[in-house]
A and B are shown apart, each in its own frame.
Chain A
């Protein structure tokens, strides 16, 4: 009865985490219903709640939205985190796609065979430090503003912070060559809504552990 968005997913990060970040940063309270077993997923499917039989699914504004990017775009636009015009949106989209690719690599790491993990981790670190982070460091350097696009907090900033923190979980000193990203991280983490989300007890989820991987494999048959 709340009118709050309601998130349907497993109790872990996966593809829903970016949505949690965005809602939290926008100061939007949300509820969560966790899929714990295969039966929970089947029920959602049989209910007709999942347009393409997949989660994430977010009940919001009378819609049962699916497809992560569709959901994120909707939230960003609704809460004015998507720039002021078409060109700013283009830049936000480009930056977000980059951080999506980056986080996607990290997200799948726990699901990879043990013997490829080390190699994959090395590849991730290489990509993060040579392909992705330099772009955002340069963007901040070139305009000297606090935020990536249009001198105003946007989805791109929130997504980048999420990516930075995830990358640091992989390698704690991964920002060592990126002073502006370090400052960005400090600054953005201090935004009240985000600071709140970063505190213990928030709806932010921890990184996947072996136990979680086993549950996910069971529920999704992967």
Chain B
């Protein structure tokens, strides 16, 4: 009855976290419905609420939206976080897609079998510091502006910040060689809506603990 977007997911980051970030950065209040057991997921499926039987699902503007990218696109457009024209959108999309790739690596880390974990961690660090971070460092260096695209706060900035923080959780000094990313991180973190989201008590979710993995596997497998 509230008209606020309503998020359906488990009580953790996963593929919903980027959506939480985006809504929060846009200053949009939202509600959450947490899946705690497989029965919760089954019920949503049986209700016909999940187009492809999967979550994330977000009730927004009369739609039951699924597919995290579709949801992200819609929110970004609606709240003017998607650039001012097609070319800016293209840049934002490129930057966001790469960040999603890195997030995917970070997100799947707790689920790696014990014997693969160390190797996976090394891959994350290598990709982050050799493939991804240098690109964003250079973008900021080349135009000298505060935001990645079009001198305006966009979805690309939000998703990059999210990933920078997640990468630091993995390896605290991972930004050591990236001074502009460090100042970017501080600057974007200070935007009032973002700052609020970063404070304790917000709807931001903590990193997945190893002890939570079995419970998750039960819901989704």
Contacts and interface: CB of A to CB of B under 8 A. Distances in A.
A12 interface: no
Interface residues of A, number: 28
A21 B78 CA distance: 29
A67 B132 contact: no
A177 interface: no
A190 interface: no
A135 B67 CA distance: 14
A51 B95 CA distance: 9
B70 A94 contact: yes
A46 to B, nearest CB: 14
Interface stretch (B17-25, B84-92, B162-170, B213-221): B84-92
Contact of B93 (A70, A89, A90): A70
27 contacts: A52-B98, A52-B101, A52-B132, A66-B94, A69-B69, A69-B93, A69-B97, A70-B94, A70-B96, A73-B89, A73-B90, A74-B89, A77-B86, A78-B86, A87-B61, A89-B77, A90-B65, A90-B73, A94-B66, A96-B70, A97-B66, A97-B69, A98-B67, A131-B52, A131-B53, A135-B51, A135-B52
Given A90-B63, A93-B70, A94-B66, 15 more contacts: A51-B94, A52-B135, A53-B131, A63-B87, A63-B90, A69-B69, A73-B89, A74-B86, A74-B90, A78-B86, A90-B70, A94-B51, A94-B65, A97-B69, A101-B52
Interface in B125-159: 131-132, 135
Contacts of A97: 66-67, 69-70
Contacts of B70: 90, 93-94, 96-97
A132 interface: yes
Contact of B90 (A65, A89, A94): A65
A74 B73 CA distance: 13
Interface of B: 51-53, 61, 63, 65-67, 69-70, 73-74, 77-78, 86-87, 89-90, 93-94, 96-98, 101, 131-132, 135
A86 B73 CA distance: 9
Contacts of A53: 131
A93 B69 contact: yes
A93 B74 contact: yes
Which residue, of B77, B90, B96, B97, has the highest number of chain A Cβ atoms within 10 A?
A: B90
Contacts of A70: 90, 93-94, 96-97
B45 to A, nearest CB: 10
Contacts of A69: 69, 93, 97
> In this complex, which of A52, A86, A98 has the most chain B Cβ atoms within 10 angstroms of its Cβ?
A52
A212 B131 CA distance: 27
A155 to B, nearest CB: 12
A43 B78 CA distance: 40
Given A52-B132, A74-B86, A74-B90, A93 B97 contact: no
Contacts of B73: 89-90, 93
A101 B94 CA distance: 19
B13 to A, nearest CB: 20
Interface in A70-105: 70, 73-74, 77-78, 86-87, 89-90, 93-94, 96-98, 101
A78 B94 CA distance: 16
Contacts of A52: 98, 101, 131-132, 135
